Amino acid sequence: MSSKHFLPSDTGKLVPNCLKAITYEYEFMSLLEKEKVIYNNEFDCSRVALISGGGSGHEPGFYGLVGSGMLSAVAQGDIFASPNYKNVKAAEKICHELGDSREWAGCIFVITNYTGDNLYFGMAAQDLIARFGSEKIRLLRITDDVAVKKDSNSLVGRRTLAGIALVSKLMGAASQNGYNIDEIFEFGQKVNDSTASVNAGLDHVHISGHSMDSEFGKLGRTQLEIGLGIHNEPGVKKLDYIPRNEELVSTLLDMILNKEDEGRGFFKYATQDKFVLLINNLGGVPIIEEKNILYTTLETLKVKYNIIPIRVYTGNFVASFNAQIFTITLFNVSTAATKTFTTDKIFDFLDEHTNAVCWPNTTFKGKSFIKNDRIINHFEGYDDDVHNTLKDSSQDLKMDPVLLENIVRTAAERVIKKEPDLTEWDTKMGDGDCGYGLKAGAELVLKKLIEDKIAASGSILNVLHVVLNIIKDDMGGTLGAIIFIFMKSVINKIEDLLKEDPSQNVNQVFATALPFGLETLYSYTKARTGHRTVMDVLIPFVNCFNETQDTNRAIQVAYNAAEGTRRLRPKLGRATYVGGLDEQTILPPDPGAYGVYEIISALSL
């Protein structure tokens, strides 16, 4: 967990400033500043008001659930602290006043099942019941967490996790469509009873503005916890290793779907039922990992349980600062459906637009199981049917096959051997991928030498085309693009020269083609000698060979240039952003330049 934060000079303003800020972003949101109440200023009290809230620190929940077709208002407390009952009553009162109060349809408190929220919303509910009658005020607890077993939570019931987002969306849509308080409340109960969630996390969260001493439950570097809450509550199981997604997701789904688990068994379902899957990111899971969790969950549901959801949602719904925690939430539409709220109606409610900021508003065209035919496995690109072979075999460059194979093998092996140094240098001065990229290409070249015997005919052009395709398809990065453009233009020039005069020898052809490759490259990059890039080796090597046609002399020039990059300050690329370079006289050599030198050096054989 990170214990560093961006804080105002008065840390007590952290929550108030956040709530005031969002009113600048979203015109439909207004704020009762002293009461910390965010409300939908477009709400019409002739519709049933839905009010929630809780401690702050879960953004975008709770304010992110406010909007047309979702919650009407939320009362936000301080960090992880419940709002008091006066704040909750203020949230109800402002909704009561939006429109003609003579048409007031009543209010349902949709609350998180934590002690403080139960008490303060309960206090407010009792006050309001005394004022308006029980038929106008209801309270619904969201209890979707399946992590804690029945015998451990018989008194307080299950906790609230990300399921509150689905309940808010469906009850909000029912309110928007004019259903009465009894219908919406009973519907909300059915949705809640048909929703199950479980969390897993890599660490507890550090709370903004708190000291390091507050890091209760901090996990070790290789630990993972299952069944955490959203306020740093400990989980039900701690692992001393971090399982891969396939194992972890399978464990979490078992806690939801295992009908033989007598300690849980909350979630009722049949295979043919219709499901919604929601993956909630509690703030600190990178999006690429979030999407991988989604994919693994979908695959596990399909393979292990024969379940294919009809709706899928991911994102930040109920967060916890920068917590590296995620939630899997399953909602069984079939068991929630009634005569009034059919499965089709529920999907209509999910699909209805809302301006609530945490709802993704993804678009779905149907109400049947997701059949993803948009992943194309076989696509024939422009290059797939192109065979880079000369129609006229006389127009080729030949050399002794044994020597050609030795040169190619040596170049690849030298790159592979040098990879640790290249990676270290690039980690210090760039993004660390140069060595791996070159090594990956070199390993594929070796594989082609062995399996496809690419040098067996002695055709230099055949080898160059194979290497070019490896660079194009498997290397990537800036270096891969530069080498590709250079090599492709060199090959194009060689083939043109051989068409004009097939009798030219290897040195003559390359002495002409290499400078042509450089000139072509110049139109794609501004890098030149002295800029601390691959060009610091490529340019002097080409110029020397063009002038002398002496391979060994050109190789020595390339080596001197590669070593010389230690004394160059970067002018282009990521290395230009590295701080503290002015104080250093000797730097690591440029890894791209040195990698290309290692390849060139094999020509001395």
* Residue 79: C-alpha distances to residues 58, 74, 179, 206 (Å): 9, 15, 35, 12
333-361 burial string, b = 16+ CB within 10 Å, else e? bebbbeeebebebbbebbebebbbbbbee
Please provide the DSSP assignment of 98-128 as one string: SS-GGG---EEEEEE-SHHHHHHHHHHHHHH
* Pairing of β 195-201 and β 224-226: antiparallel
Neighbour tally for 78: CB within 10 Å: 15
Q: At what angle do helices 477-500 and 460-470 cross, to 10 degrees?
A: 150
Report the Cα–Cα distance between both ends of the chain, in Å, rounded: 54
378 catalytically annotated: no
322 close to 201: Cβ distance less than 8 angstroms: no
Structure tokens at 302: 């399909």
Rounded to 5°, angle at Cα 403 from 397 and 409? 105
Q: Which amino acid is at 142?
A: I
Q: Of 204, 231, 465, 531, which one is the catalytic site residue? A: 231
Closest C-alpha among 490, 555, 565 to residue 535: 565
- Return the structure tokens found at 88: 């909750």
**How far is residue 380's CA from residue 378's CA, in Å, rounded to a whole number?**
7
Residues ≥6 apart with Cβ < 8 Å to 309: 275, 276, 277, 298, 301, 369, 370
Report the catalytic residues. Answer: 231
